[in-house]
Amino acid sequence: MSRLTRYPWIFSLLLVIALGLWLGSGRIQSGSQQAPEQLDAQQSSRQQPPLPRVRVRTVRLQPVSRRVTLFGRSEADRQSDIRSGIGGRVLAIEVERGDRVRTGQLMMRIDPENRAQELEAARALLAQRQLEYKSSKQLNTQGYQGKAQLAQALAGLKQARAEVSRLEREIADSRITAPFDGIVGERTVETGDWVTPGQTLARLHDLQPLIARGDASPGDLAQLHTGMPARVRLFDQTEEMSARIRYIAPAADPETGTFRIEAAFDNPGARLRAGLAARIDIELDAVPALLISPAQFALSDQGELGVKWVRDGIVRFSPIDIIRSDDDGIWITGLEAGSRLITVGQAFVRAGDRVEAVEEAATGNDTQRVAD
């Protein structure tokens, strides 16, 4: 005791050591009494990262007409190469390129040369042959002439008739007329040129109605038939024209494997031209569909096109069919009404992942980080 009195710091040190041992024993005891479940929860909360957040939208379907869209060009309803029926010199050209002509309108004149005089002689010979045949027939009936003479007279009559017909046709062919209403295209001759029978003189285009020609795949062909309504839009034209399918090729093109489709539409005044790029939209039956942005498309591990959605906090993948495309987006089928489509964050999650889904209506102008 006298030593403790002499050295008081020894007593203080012993008191501090005793107090530390007492406090340590209480912490160990309280730690040993903590529930194992709480320890596991605390440990798991420290080990598991937060769930990725994705933005979702509840699917509402709308009836949308299926559409087959073809791309091609506009074509004339008819076009014809105007050819010469006889040989001769071009006397006059009555039309110019770009002129509109009516059926039967004179386009060119070719010199008939002396065919008019030849026709007069042929007609006179025909009259003679008719008299000879009539006399031979009467004599044969009375028994004064045989059948051979009658047959010879008949042959001479027919030959004279053929010569008259030939000359009349050649004289008519010297006047080149329009076979139908149309617009004169290229012209290959000028006044004074010498032409031969069958030579092309000009080309005539009939642009009323105008034709939009497209090529359909075998898959689209099963849904099409002649008489179906269609809509046609030509290059650099904002207006759509009402059309109707008038022709479907019976056989595929051997090089492309596609089928020629023609849609005819009204072209008053021939204001629209042939050769313009054309888009043909053919409406089919209506199906329940969803309008989405192409940015919401996703690919499965097998490369199948689809979309991702959420059910019970788990990401799902569904393949889709594209119905049609509009300026506002793509219409698809493949999702049921009420599904929760992922609209933001689908690129950062995979099918089977657990996520935290945030409804679009609940986000407002929220700029929170999605799918970290």
Same domain assignment for residues 165 and 57: no
In a domain, 339, yes or no: yes
Kindly report the number of other CB atoms within 10 A of residue 177's CB atom: 16
In a domain, 23, yes or no: no
Same domain assignment for residues 218 and 156: no
CA distance 357 to 142: 115
> What is the CATH classification number for the domain harbouring 218?
2.40.30.170
In a domain, 36, yes or no: no
- 339 to each of 171, 286, 349, 354, how far by Cα in Å? 80, 21, 17, 16
- For the chain, the domain total comes to 3
In a domain, 43, yes or no: no
Q: Pick the range with the lowest mean pLDDT from 35-39, 125-129, 164-168, 289-293.
A: 35-39
pLDDT of 368 > 50? The answer is: no
In a domain, 2, yes or no: no
Q: Are strands 356-359 and 53-58 parallel, antiparallel or unpaired?
A: parallel
Q: What band does 14 get if pLDDT is binned at 50, 70 and 90? A: low
> What is the CATH classification number for the domain harbouring 180?
2.40.50.100
More confident call, 16 vs 306: 306
In a domain, 17, yes or no: no
Beta bridge partners of 175: 109
Same domain assignment for residues 117 and 160: yes
Judge whether 101 and 179 are in contact, CB under 8 Å. no
Chain segment 310-330, per-residue pLDDT in tens: 999 999 999 998 887 878 888
Residue 224: domain span: 69-76+209-284
Residue pointed to by tokens 């012993």? 14
Same domain assignment for residues 194 and 251: no
Judge whether 88 and 181 are in contact, CB under 8 Å. no
In a domain, 341, yes or no: yes
Same domain assignment for residues 260 and 162: no
In order, the DSSP letters of 115-183 are: HHHHHHHHHHHHHHHHHHHHHHHHHHHHTSS-HHHHHHHHHHHHHHHHHHHHHHHHHHHTEEE-SSSEE
Domain boundary among 143, 170, 201: 201
Same domain assignment for residues 215 and 152: no
- At residue 371, the pLDDT reads 41
- At residue 360, the pLDDT reads 82
Sign of the torsion formed by the C-alpha atoms of 9, 10, 12 and 13: positive
Same domain assignment for residues 309 and 267: no
Domain boundary among 201, 232, 256: 201
pTM confidence score = 0.60
Judge whether 167 and 115 are in contact, CB under 8 Å. yes
Domain boundary among 201, 224, 255: 201
CA distance 276 to 267: 14
Same domain assignment for residues 111 and 152: yes
Judge whether 223 and 277 are in contact, CB under 8 Å. no
Same domain assignment for residues 60 and 150: no
- At residue 309, the pLDDT reads 92
CA distance 339 to 330: 18
CA distance 299 to 350: 10
Sign of the torsion formed by the C-alpha atoms of 292, 294, 295 and 296: positive
pLDDT of 16 > 90? The answer is: no
Same domain assignment for residues 180 and 89: yes
Judge whether 297 and 343 are in contact, CB under 8 Å. no
In a domain, 111, yes or no: yes
Residue pointed to by tokens 């010979």? 125
> What is the CATH classification number for the domain harbouring 351?
2.40.420.20
More confident call, 48 vs 372: 48
Judge whether 263 and 212 are in contact, CB under 8 Å. yes
DSSP state of 318: E
More confident call, 12 vs 90: 90
- Give me the percent of the chain exceeding a pLDDT of 70: 83
Judge whether 232 and 280 are in contact, CB under 8 Å. yes
**Where would I find the beta strands (DSSP E) of 180-276?**
182-187, 194-195, 200-216, 229-234, 241-248, 259-265
Same domain assignment for residues 115 and 98: yes
CA 212 to chain centroid, in Å, comes to: 10
- Nearest 5 degrees, angle CA 133-CA 138-CA 143? 120
pLDDT of 106 > 70? The answer is: yes
- Nearest 5 degrees, angle CA 227-CA 228-CA 232? 110
Same domain assignment for residues 101 and 186: yes
